[in-house]
Amino acid sequence: MKRYVKYLISIFVLTIIWCIIVLNGLLNGWWHKAITKNKDTESFITAVNEISKNEFVGNFAMAIMKDGKVEKEIYFSYNKPVDRNTIFQVSSLSKFVSAAGIMKLAELGKIDLDTPVSRYLKRWQLPPGEFDNEQVTVRRLLSHTAGLTDGLGYSGFEMRDSVQTIEASLTKAKDADEGISGEVRVGIEPNSAWKYSGGGFTLLQLIVEETSGQSFNEFMTSGLFTPLNMNSSTYILDDSLKSRLCEFYNADKTTAPHHYYTSLAATSLYTTLADLETFFQIFLKGKNGEPIGRGQLKPETLMSMREGHWDIMGEEIYGLGSMLYIDIESNEDIFGHDGKSTPPVNTAIRINPVTGDGIIVLETGNPDLATRIASDWVFLKTGKADTLLFSMLIGKTIKIASAGILFIILFFIGTALWRKKRKTIADSA
| Own/partner pairs, 10-19, CB within 8 angstroms, 24+ separation | 10/412, 11/408, 11/409, 11/412, 14/408, 15/405, 15/408, 18/401, 18/404, 18/405, 18/408, 19/401, 19/405
| Averaged confidence pLDDT in the chain | 90
Encode pLDDT of 51-68 as tens digits: 888 999 999 999 999 999
Q: What percent of the chain has pLDDT over 70?
A: 93
Enter the DSSP assignment of 30.
T
- Name the least confident of 3-7, 13-17, 347-351: 3-7
The residue with greater pLDDT, 310 or 314, is: 310
- Whole-structure pTM value: 0.90
Encode pLDDT of 68-112 as tens digits: 999 999 999 999 999 999 999 999 999 999 999 999 999 999 999
Given pLDDT bands bounded at 50, 70 and 90, which one contains residue 341? Answer: very high
Residue 257 has pLDDT above 80, yes or no: yes
- Name the least confident of 320-324, 345-349, 423-427: 423-427
CA dihedral 21, 27, 30, 34 (to 10 degrees): 170
- Name the least confident of 14-28, 184-198, 325-339: 14-28
Average pLDDT over residues 229-233: 96
How far apart, in Å, are the Cα atoms of 8 and each of 3, 14, 97, 212, 422? 9, 10, 54, 66, 20
pLDDT value of position 402: 86
Q: Which residues contact 304 (CB under 8 A, 6 or more apart)?
A: 103, 319, 320
Which class for 250: exposed (0-12), middle (13-18), buried (19 or more C-beta within 10 A)? middle
Strands 310-312 and 270-272: unpaired
Residue 356 has pLDDT above 70, yes or no: yes
The residue with greater pLDDT, 303 or 393, is: 303
Encode pLDDT of 169-188 as tens digits: 999 999 998 888 899 999 99
Q: Which residues contact 69 (CB under 8 A, 6 or more apart)?
A: none
pLDDT value of position 24: 74
What SS3 state is found at 387? helix
Residue 31 has pLDDT above 70, yes or no: no
**Which range in 26-40, 165-179, 393-407 is most confidently predicted, on average pLDDT?**
165-179
Phi and psi at 410, nearest 5°, equal -65, -35
Residue 325 has pLDDT above 80, yes or no: yes
pLDDT value of position 27: 67
Report angle CA 250, 349, 299 to the nearest 5 degrees.
Answer: 150
- Name the least confident of 4-8, 168-172, 276-280, 332-336: 4-8
Residue 369 has pLDDT above 70, yes or no: yes
What SS3 state is found at 266? helix
